[in-house]
Amino acid sequence: MRVKKGFKARRRRNRVLKLAKGFRGRRKNCYKRANQAVERALNYSTRDRRRRRREFRSLWITRINAAARLNGTSYSKLVSALAKAGVALDRKVLADLALFVPGDFAQVVKSVQA
């Protein structure tokens, strides 16, 4: 009699095929191809979560630098002055200030330069 593997194996295969939903071609309905595609997709998603944090940090730095130059200083001088003054504003908050409330950002720059 042929052994087809049982419930556990079917559940494992169905879990992979569910993750492959939306893929094109045989990658969505053949277990072997779907398993390869899902493994690769999960690796990419893990890598890109870290990459997304990097990209946001560089975006914030670019925005802070642009706003700092409008206020007569550079990014590196501003960050150094913030550290010396003990101002605990992170880059995300500074970038939001620079983008949405430029007047308040200018006040922060003036207060740490004084």
Give the pLDDT confidence score for residue 1 in this predicted structure.
Answer: 73
The backbone torsions φ and ψ at residue 73, rounded to the nearest 5 degrees and listed phi first, read -145, 180
Q: Are 27 and 33 in contact (CB under 8 A)?
A: yes
> 5 pLDDT band (50/70/90 cuts)?
confident
Write down the pTM of the prediction.
Answer: 0.76
Domain definitions of the chain by residue range = 7-113
How many Å from the N-terminal Cα to the C-terminal Cα in the chain?
Answer: 87
- Identify the architecture of domain 7-113 in CATH: Orthogonal Bundle (1.10)
* Cβ atoms of residues 20 and 40 within 8 Å: no
Contact indicator for 101, 65 with CB cutoff of 8 Å: no
3-state secondary structure of 95: helix
pLDDT digits (tens, 9 = 90+) for 16-70: 999 999 999 999 999 999 999 999 999 999 999 999 999 999 999 999 999 999 9
